[in-house]
Amino acid sequence: MQQLSYFELIGFGPNGWGWALLTATGMTIAVAICGFLAGSVVGTFVAWGKIGGNVVIRSLADGYTTVLRGIPDLLVIYLFYFGGSAALGAIGSLFGAQGFIGVPAFVTGALAIGIVSGAYQAEVFRGAYQVVSRGELEAARSVGMHRWLMFRRIIAPQVLRYAIPGLGNTWQLVLKESALISVTGLVELLRQSHIAAGSTRRPFDFYITAAILYLVITWVSTYLFQRAESHSMRGIRRAS
């Protein structure tokens, strides 16, 4: 058999893996975005607990961020992957179902990423909240805004503005963490490269392609976050 050239291998021709790799890149982006958004929801509530909670809630929130930032992400993914199936199996057996019920790998992955990145995003949101001027919060309260209205009109827009750089860093973490989801069998970029490497016996070519595609995603998202940051800061006068 004649050896395919690198570009035939990753191209879109009859023997090329181009479409498979592009689809898998889309899957990586999709699972990363879902995980990131799940993390934003978790992070918002945890940050709220850290800022406004009573002693019990605050120590729970502190414990959450300490624990989730102190243990490997891979362990969390294993917990969701194996633990989720076990939990579903237990629920299923209540309704008379038999045997192993698998959780969809996409849901497992997005949830695991969300739980981990929620811990990081909580710290980002908390830091950003501290920049919001106390006077504005008092002013909002003095004109009679309720908590939800104050959150929507005063807190959320400003916290988001100051959180953008931190969120950008967290997004990069999430993107790289999404590669770990490949252990659950979700066909994202790394998994697809693994499959292609196995079937063509050209592992280096495919992993280097995966690395390049990850770099492209990183590069584009860095650019987008920079755009978002300068857009959100357009009304702010800065020192220097």
Partner 1 sequence: MDFAFMRDSFFTLLGGVPLTLNLAFMSVALGAILAMLLALMRMSGFKALDWPAQAYVFVFRGTPLLVQIFLIYYGLGQFRPTLQEWGLWTFFREPYWCAVLALTLNTAAYASEIIRGGLQSVPHNQVEAARACGMSGFLLFRRIVFPIAVRQALPAYGSEIILMVKATSLASIITMMEVTGLAAKLISQSFRAVEVFIVAGLIYLILNFIITRIIMAIEWWLSPHLRRPPAIEPRLEAAHV
Q: Residue numbers of the site for partner 1 (CB under 8 A)?
A: 66-67, 70-76, 78-79, 81-83, 86, 172, 175-180, 182-183, 190, 193-194, 197, 201-205, 207-208, 210-211, 214-215, 218-219
Q: Is residue 228 within 8 Å of 167, Cβ to Cβ?
A: no
Give min distance, CB of 42 to partner 1, in A.
18
How far is residue 106's CA from residue 92's CA, in Å, rounded to a whole number? 20
How far is residue 36's CA from residue 38's CA, in Å, rounded to a whole number? 5
Give min distance, CB of 85 to partner 1, in A.
8
Q: What element of type H or E holds 13?
A: none
How far is residue 26's CA from residue 20's CA, in Å, rounded to a whole number? 10
Between residues 150 and 187, which has the closer beta carbon with respect to partner 1? 187
Q: How far apart are the first and last CA of the chain?
A: 64
Give min distance, CB of 43 to partner 1, in A.
19
Between residues 70 and 135, which has the closer beta carbon with respect to partner 1? 70
How far is residue 38's CA from residue 173's CA, in Å, rounded to a whole number? 14
Between residues 97 and 149, which has the closer beta carbon with respect to partner 1? 97
Give min distance, CB of 195 to partner 1, in A.
12
Between residues 12 and 82, which has the closer beta carbon with respect to partner 1? 82
Between residues 137 and 183, which has the closer beta carbon with respect to partner 1? 183
Q: How far is CA 204 from the centre of its chain?
A: 27
Q: Is residue 51 within 8 Å of 158, Cβ to Cβ?
A: no
Give min distance, CB of 111 to partner 1, in A.
14
Between residues 161 and 202, which has the closer beta carbon with respect to partner 1? 202
Give min distance, CB of 34 to partner 1, in A.
17
Query: 44 Cβ partners below 8 Å, 6+ apart?
Result: 121, 122, 125
